[in-house]
Structure 1
């Protein structure tokens, strides 16, 4: 029963934001394009869930997440009014981000063979369905600011909000890529097997990739601010949701628990935790 309730809440929240973001937006035969994108966010994941559940595999979970972003952005661009510079740039940025993240995560799980988080979940069809539903909610909420920029009928020239927002996105995207590449190179070195990274951006923050992720979605929300009216303001949930997800749910807490279990008794790990910020980077102490 709890799982069914969780599924219902996830769907209602995702579609609720899509409905709010649809105000003053483009429509397709009377259906708001933003709402259509919200529906598709769930539909794509539910469709892929069918074979995934049949074979009890999570291998294509992250790849499906990226595919969902690409789908909703493509539909938003296709059925909205003529795109201006702001909306075209934002659409391009989300596409670039989704392609990069999807390929990165798919290569990682292909190399690892599995995602341990799904070991107990994928054998339970209802709980497994919940994870795919939550991914639909993740897409609907995270992409909300981008979708409102693309689907709104209000078009404004590039202004200070767009410049600041796009600059934040570029910085966040660069930080995320650099951090991920540094960690991949660290893991590729056999002498680092089973160890934790403390070099590069990881000397500045224990989770620099998450900081980059938060920064880039916040940038898109900043770019959307001059366009928002009425219920469209609900779309500022985008970076708030990303922050909540990464700092309170599936990101930092899970990694912190795993790290404590592996290296919690090691003085070197304790020192790293004490001297390195959890999220927001700062120069390492001498």
Structure 2
């Protein structure tokens, strides 16, 4: 009697975990983040936090790549992509925090063991969830997914564009902050003239690219990979990315007329000419350009914001 084909979802949870090394990836991620958490909590040491996240992505990409041992073209490409991104970002963030000295994001939770542990657990969830497309692409069963197709090419273009945007944005802001003349100013040069958070635009774009590449091979339950782009978008747009930095900037510069005008004419995420962005209705900005109302909070001192836009001939100082 012929055996009836069973889709991955019907083969049993144990088989699925073994087939994709999901359990091993979860364990490795938890071990890495727990180790770095112990170092950070014991030594009150912030310098390993971002490095722990970026390097974990690289470890999972290499682990799943070599465990499969199939070395397909798509697997090689995606693994190289993630390693290039991970090494660059981890190295940059480590160098930056070494120069800064302390990460003030953790000032309110560093002394609370449970809250600090919660952050590290959340970072583990972030790494594992966003890495899902890479884990499934590198699975041995997906090595014969055919030659590069349209989705692979589109995904590669997305990844390259995102990596370039993120890299350039980081370089521009780092250079701006290292200039003593810019002390007490916000960065509004280069890509930061067109977007308040171009680095996050790059981050979202490159992971969308990885997801699109995975769409060439995933089937049935493997479509869980959609969690990756959804997770990264939600985190950056609604949780610890843009909202946190917007509040921080509002608290620091919110009473300054130049900063209020900068926010009024600069897109939060997508690159958009300031003159065009300023002229758009608020509803259009919200629906299509991610200018959500909670990005515009009053600074802590409750200073009065400007309500009238400058006239056409009025100059605007840009820090």
Q: Into which bin does the TM-score normalised by the smaller protein fall?
A: 0.7 to 0.9
- 1:222 equivalent in alignment to 2:206: no
Is the 1:25–1:148 contact (alpha carbons within 8 Å) kept by the matching residues of 2? no
Shift in alpha-carbon separation, 1:24–1:128, aligned structure 2, 3 A: closer
Q: Which runs of 4+ in 1 moved over 3 A?
A: 22-28
Q: How far apart are residue 76 of structure 1 and its match?
A: 0.4
| Distance in 1, Cα, partners of 2:122 & 2:56 | 12
Q: How many residues align?
A: 266
Q: How far apart are residue 283 of structure 1 and its match?
A: 2.4
- Aligned residue for 1:251? 241
- Between Structure 1 and Structure 2, the one with more helix by share is 1
Q: TM-score w.r.t. structure 1 length?
A: 0.87
| Distance in 2, Cα, partners of 1:26 & 1:106 | 38
Gaps of 5+ in 1: 1-18
Is the 1:165–1:221 contact (alpha carbons within 8 Å) kept by the matching residues of 2? yes
| Selected match of 1:123 from 111, 114, 118 | 111
| Distance in 2, Cα, partners of 1:241 & 1:179 | 22
| Distance in 2, Cα, partners of 1:26 & 1:158 | 28
- Aligned residue for 1:111? 99
- Aligned residue for 2:176? 186
Post-superposition CA distance 1:181-209 (Å, at most 9, x none): 11111111111011111121111111111
Is the 1:221–1:239 contact (alpha carbons within 8 Å) kept by the matching residues of 2? yes
Return 227-236 or 91-100, whichever deviates more. 227-236
Is the 1:26–1:33 contact (alpha carbons within 8 Å) kept by the matching residues of 2? no
Query: What's the secondary structure of 2:141's corresponding residue?
Result: coil
Q: How far apart are residue 23 of structure 1 and its match?
A: 8.9
What RMSD in Å do the two structures reach over aligned CA positions?
2.3
| Selected match of 2:200 from 176, 199, 210 | 210
Q: TM-score w.r.t. structure 2 length?
A: 0.79
| Distance in 2, Cα, partners of 1:282 & 1:247 | 17
| Selected match of 2:250 from 243, 250, 260 | 260
Q: How do residues 105-184 of structure 1 correspond to structure 2 at under 5 angstroms?
A: 105-154=93-142, 155-156=144-145, 157-184=147-174
Query: What's the secondary structure of 2:148's corresponding residue?
Result: coil
Query: What's the secondary structure of 1:120's corresponding residue?
Result: coil
- 1:102 equivalent in alignment to 2:90: yes
Q: How far apart are residue 51 of structure 1 and its match?
A: 2.5
Is the 2:19–2:139 contact (alpha carbons within 8 Å) kept by the matching residues of 1? no
| Distance in 1, Cα, partners of 2:12 & 2:55 | 26
Q: How far apart are residue 262 of structure 1 and its match?
A: 0.9
Higher RCO (CA-CA < 8 Å; seq separation 6+):
1
- 1:80 equivalent in alignment to 2:72: no
Q: Which has the larger radius of gyration?
A: 2
Query: What's the secondary structure of 2:188's corresponding residue?
Result: coil
